[in-house]
A and B are shown apart, each in its own frame.
Chain A
Amino acid sequence: MSSNQEPLAAHNQSGRAQRVNLDAGGNARLTTLGRTAYLQALDDGWADHRRLHHEGRRARALYDGAREAVASVLGARTDEVFFAPSPTAAFHAVIPALLAGHKRKGNLVVASRIERAAVLNALEFSNATEHLVTVDERGFVDPDGFSAAVAQPGVAFAALQQANHEVATLQPLDHAREACTKAGVPLLVDATASLTHVAPPTGLWDALIASPADWGGGQGVGVLALKSRARARRVWPEDQDAWFPGGASLPAIFAAAVTLQEAESLRKERAQLHTELIDSIRRAAALLPDTEVLGDPFNRLPHMCTFSCLYVDSEALMAQFDALGFAVGSGSACTSASLEPSHVLAAMGVLTHGNVRVTLDWDVTREQVARFVQVLPQAVAQVRGEMGVTGL
């Protein structure tokens, strides 16, 4: 950078660069309230909540309160809510259990091509016959294709995300629910990217999975909600914690529940701000040369957007943003251990390299996004310059 330019990374009074988390998908900062709840649960709920003495019962009260709070947000009964050590663990448990519960019906599972890897991996591991419905170039699942697929004989269950975790596109969940009800097929809804950002999918799921780390509840816990009518047979040993043997961390569970209520109460005002801020990033990205802004501009999560820059190595671009104080995400193969491109971007038929994913955290400010929008053109131009691909 030449000396006559202003430094691009903002500094606070102590001179330390301020970090901005623009990679908040499943990776949001623990909220202040969440931290307080976590510490309170460490103090008051340190005991094993399954033991019947005074200490155990104090822990139990926190655990029961957490279940109740989550159930009320999801429109579930308290005994329909379970806590896993992670959302991934929840997918890995519920998918084989739903398959086992519908064994006599068949082992066909209908899902979109752009479900999370945890879903697709669990289906493959369980030897399910997969019917993966195509998506269009904006990431919307083909609604007629989905309806036709669930109406086939031998469908054990269907799985659909409320919104995509890489490109933010909202799926036609109402339509999917209707088709599943008509066909008598249970629906597993992946709400890991969407809960607290859009209205909860109340009444639309038979099983639902959510990710507290996505709303500022911290890592180390996942939520499974399962309707009591759902046929699911657990395919692992008995335990007092029937769904997740050994249970999950109580402080993480308690913080997850408290922050869920917090995020839900702030959802509308946050969504309004996030929509406006993401619109400004989408506009700025669309002005970059040879850049494709992905997903739908309107029917999307409020706090996420993704774009791909031709000829750019995502890893170099992420390092460039990192040096400027911004943590961003990417769905490009060049940034993952495997050389396989993102199955989401591939299924949409869009550029899989040079991919940048911006996901706003709950504490994001207008000033931070304005600064990102300001540095964006130069950051991309600099990486292109270093790679010798300017003017292609």
Chain B
Amino acid sequence: MTVHFLDTRGQRCPQPIINLAKFVLTIDENDSVEIVSSDPAAEFDIPAWARLKGRACSAPRSSRDGISPPSSNSFEVWFTVGPR
């Protein structure tokens, strides 16, 4: 049960979701993915994707730990997507 990291910052809708879908094909079925995006649509599309794919999804966080400020001044949203 590994937690992988996927950085989609700088990518625009729907590229973060495409890359997330491609990424989960390459990992073990029990693994999770921590994903970060700078696209405002990702805040809604990542949980919606997880729901459609029957995967667990955390609440959105504004930084990696949800406490410290994001690594840049621009918008960031972080999720942890669980296995199916």
Chain A, residues 259-293, CB within 8 Å of chain B (1/0): the string is: 00000000000000000000000000000001010
A354 CB–B CB distance under 8 Å: yes
Main DSSP-derived SS at the B contact region? helix
Q: Does A201 contact B (CB under 8 A)?
A: no
Given pairs A349-B48, A353-B45, A392-B25, 12 additional interface contacts (CB within 8 A): A290-B52, A292-B48, A310-B21, A310-B49, A334-B13, A341-B45, A345-B44, A349-B44, A350-B44, A350-B48, A351-B45, A392-B22
Q: Is the interface of A mostly helix, strand, loop or mixed?
A: loop
* Set of chain A residues within 8 Å of B41, measured between Cβ atoms: 332-333, 339-341, 352-353
Chain A 339-366 per-residue mask, 1 if CB under 8 angstroms from chain B, else 0:
1110001100111111000000000000
Question: At the interface, yes or no: B76 with Cβ under 8 Å from chain A?
Answer: no
**Interface mask (B8-33 → A, CB under 8 Å = 1, otherwise 0):** 00001110011001100100000000
List CB contacts (< 8 Å) of A311-356 with chain B.
311-313, 332-334, 339-341, 345-346, 349-354
Instruction: Flag if B44 contacts A310 (CB, 8 Å).
Output: no
- B31-52 interface (Cβ within 8 A of A): 39-41, 43-45, 47-49, 52
Partner among B12, B18, B22, B47 whose Cβ is within 8 Å of the Cβ of A349: B47
- B-side interface residues toward A, CB under 8 Å? 12-14, 17-18, 21-22, 25, 39-41, 43-45, 47-49, 52
Q: How far is the CB of B74 from chain A (nearest CB, A)?
A: 11
CA distance A312 to B17 in the complex (A): 10
> Please, how many angstroms separate the alpha-carbon atoms of A52 and B45 in the complex?
60
Q: Which of B12, B21, B22, B44 contacts A352 (CB 8 A)?
A: B44
A341 touches B14 (CB 8 A): no
Please list the residues of chain A having a beta carbon within 8 angstroms of any beta carbon in chain B.
Answer: 290, 292, 310-313, 332-334, 339-341, 345-346, 349-354, 387, 389, 392
